[in-house]
Amino acid sequence: MTIGNIAPKKERKSRKSKSIVDEKAPLLPKRQDDDGAEFDEFNGASFTGAVFNLSTTIVGAGIMALPATMKVLGLGLGIVMIIFMAFLTEASIELILRFSRAGKSSSYGGLMGDAFGKYGKIMLQICVMINNIGVLIVYMIIIGDVLSGTSSSGVHHAGVLEGWFGDQWWNGRAVVLSVTTLCIFAPLACFKRIDSLKFTSALSVGLAVVFLVITVGIAIIKLISGGVMMPRLIPDVTDLTSLLNLFTVVPVLVTAYICHYNVHSIDNELEDSTQIKGVVRTSLALCSSVYIMTSFFGFLLFGDATLDDVLANYDTNLGIPYSSLLNDAVRVSYAAHLMLVFPIVFYPLRLNLDGLLFPTSRPLVLDNLRFALVSIGLIAVIFLGANFIPSIWDAFQFTGATAAVCLGFIFPAAITLKDRHNIATKKDKILAAFMIVLAVFSNLVAIYSDAYALIKRNTSPRE
């Protein structure tokens, strides 16, 4: 995080200073006499660095569930929805930034507080907590699926460790996640400055690229050899239930693009704040391309056998040379990617929880005991959730239909309709109303469809 003293004559300086006082951000302590020299050396983040940080925020576990959305929507409609959601996300972020400029707010929480007062800020903090806890639970579930295997679909898919060493007590899900939490997540979560994670973040992006390149390569080889069939381009709708089931992908798509809670931090660090729109558009274009390629080639490879977590599909013979080696490389590379992204998502989660529980206390970075207790408590909740939630689809459905849709669309639209500074155009208000109607309707239908499917699944054995 950066601090003022970068351009004293600019208005952005006063906006940042205000955020330090109002938001009590732990990484921006008021007492900086000892660290002043270090911050004075920072002249602002570059465009490329900002794109990298925002892209890292966007691309996470959501990419693993996108091939499963193709199974529901069909390849054609699925790709259209990925592109549409990218444009809608760009529009919502643009509204957030414009109203932040008008209200001189340098954080999402500050913007909600400016529009709706103390309770608006609290609602934002709660939604960030729900969303990020859900996302981190998904990370742990995927890591458990990859290393220990999964039976969430009713068929057991062996994990990497099980494939290498057989079924042992020490490669069970609970043991593997315990070791991963204690040896990887906990140490990385101990860093008090997000800048300390820049090298692990860079490595995580490289691992995600390795996953994508191998997946595309496998699909192309099988396509050339005639080893794959043409996937469905449109959804298979036969009755009302299958029609309603189409809406269950909306929370997954929403979650895949949620980055709104980190946009202000990246904007504040930019050397030239006018570049933020370009940063957002470049990041969304990059991530959309990655999402489309992963969805297309993942669904092309596995078709209707695609699992909620596509990584779990990589435990069978792919019908090409070195199939087993490539399977393990795909799964291990992305599991390692998620391990390294974990602390990036954990950072704003801890920040918002501390701000919610201890709004008047001194900065968290200065209180080691509070820092440790908050971190341990959050990691424990995430660990328990990963062990008791059966699949990433269930976690995405919950977070996507509640907190994520609020962060991504409902809150920006509500701020626009509130229009406290009288800067919203008629077009803005129409777009805001559309966002709210689309978000509320699609997610209510998704929740109803999921609840109906769950009830039907639980009652069918007794009929």
DSSP codes joined into one string, 177-197: HHHHIIIIIHHHHT-S-GGGG
343 vs 390: CA distance, rounded Å: 23
302-318 tens-digit pLDDT = 777 777 667 777 777 77
215 vs 298: CA distance, rounded Å: 7
225-252 tens-digit pLDDT = 776 777 777 777 777 777 777 777 877 7
Exposed (0-12), middle (13-18) or buried (19+): which is 285, by Cβ within 10 Å? middle
Backbone angles phi, psi at 284, to 5 degrees: -65, -40
Contact 64, 309 (CB under 8 A): yes
Q: Look at residue 83 in the predicted model and tell me its pLDDT.
A: 92
Q: Which residues pair with 45 in a beta bridge?
A: 270
H or E, element range at 157: strand 157-158
**Residue 316 CB partners (closer than 8 Å, separation 6+):** 327
At 446, list the tokens: 């998704």
Question: In Å, how far from its chain's centre is CA 209?
Answer: 17
434 vs 442: CA distance, rounded Å: 12
At 383, list the tokens: 């660990």
Q: Look at residue 268 in the predicted model and tell me its pLDDT.
A: 80
CA-derived radius of gyration, the chain: 22
pTM above 0.85, yes or no: no
Q: Look at residue 32 in the predicted model and tell me its pLDDT.
A: 37
350 vs 197: CA distance, rounded Å: 15
Which residue numbers in the chain have pLDDT < 70?
A: 1-45, 60-62, 150-158, 193-198, 227, 308-309, 390-401, 449-454, 456-463
Contact 109, 277 (CB under 8 A): no
**What is the DSSP track for 115-141?**
HHHHHHHHHHHHHHHHHHHHHHHHHHH
Give start and end residues of each alpha helix (H) in 24-74. Answer: 36-40, 47-58, 62-73
**Residue 92 CB partners (closer than 8 Å, separation 6+):** 260, 408, 409, 412, 413, 435
207 vs 334: CA distance, rounded Å: 6
Q: Look at residue 11 in the predicted model and tell me its pLDDT.
A: 42
